[in-house]
Amino acid sequence: MLGPPGAGKGTQAERFARERGVPRISTGDILREAGHSGTELGLAAKAVMEAGRLVSDAIMIGIVKERLERPDAVPGFVLDGFPRTVAQAEALDGMVDDRAPLVVVDIEVPDHTLVRRLHGRRICRVCGWNAAPGATVCARCGGSLVQRSDDGERVVLERLHVYLKDTQPIVEYYRRRRTFRSVDGDQAPDAVAADIASAVAAVLGGRA
């Protein structure tokens, strides 16, 4: 699942995975898990994050590879936040070479909509859960909601700039494949979910 910050890919990835009984694999989640695992890769990732640096392709690829080899990911999975570079995309091709086709869905949303969404987004102060629009307390733990520190308007515009520079090449890497689909993310969440399901079904010949 690809898309810029604010496109709703995390929400849609979680929904798609839940409805099909496969794991949603979020890089944020697996990095946090790796940091507590005590493995060599996990400790390396933790040290990098604590120093405020980006986790390297080599570490990220190793952690994702380990996650995809677990039994619950054998029937399928939904990736959210990986790959973020062309090198990671190339490595992912090798990881799934003997599996079912890798379906790539890019959620497209206009910049002005992304800025509005991100600027108005709230997360739980206690558990970090992303709140639904209009929510006043966290649906997961009941905690109070606050604006993310990286959701101020100026920071949002910079994040979108970084996405276009660093992540858009991944879209171009996949665009020519028959397993690539774009969906309109500038509509109600249920409509986006329906379009994603239709796109995946079209790629898999009716199976989604």
For residue 125, is it within any domain? yes
Residue where the block lists tokens 């774009």: 182
For residue 208, is it within any domain? no
pLDDT at 138: 87
pLDDT in tens, 14-39: 999 999 999 999 887 777 777 676 77
Reported residue count of the chain is 208
pLDDT in tens, 90-142: 999 999 998 889 999 999 998 888 877 776 667 788 887 777 666 778 888 98
For residue 88, is it within any domain? yes
Candidates 47, 55, 100; CA nearest to 81 is 55
Structural domain containing residue 116: 9-203
For residue 1, is it within any domain? no
**What does the longest C-alpha to C-alpha distance in the chain come to?**
46
CATH number where 132 lies: 3.40.50.300
pLDDT in tens, 61-99: 998 998 999 999 999 999 998 998 999 999 999 999 988
Question: The whole model's pTM is what?
Answer: 0.77
Q: How confident is the model at residue 150 (pLDDT cuts 50, 70, 90)?
A: very low
For residue 90, is it within any domain? yes
For residue 4, is it within any domain? no
How many angstroms separate the CA atoms of 199 and 109, rounded? Answer: 17
Which residues does the annotation mark as catalytic?
9, 84, 121, 148, 159
pLDDT at 52: 61
Residues 6+ away with beta carbon under 8 Å from 38? none
For residue 156, is it within any domain? yes
Provide the number of structural domains found in the chain: 1
Comparing 39 with 60, which gets the higher pLDDT?
60
- Please say whether the beta carbons of 81 and 167 come within 8 A: no
pLDDT at 194: 97
For residue 3, is it within any domain? no
- Please say whether the beta carbons of 135 and 145 come within 8 A: yes
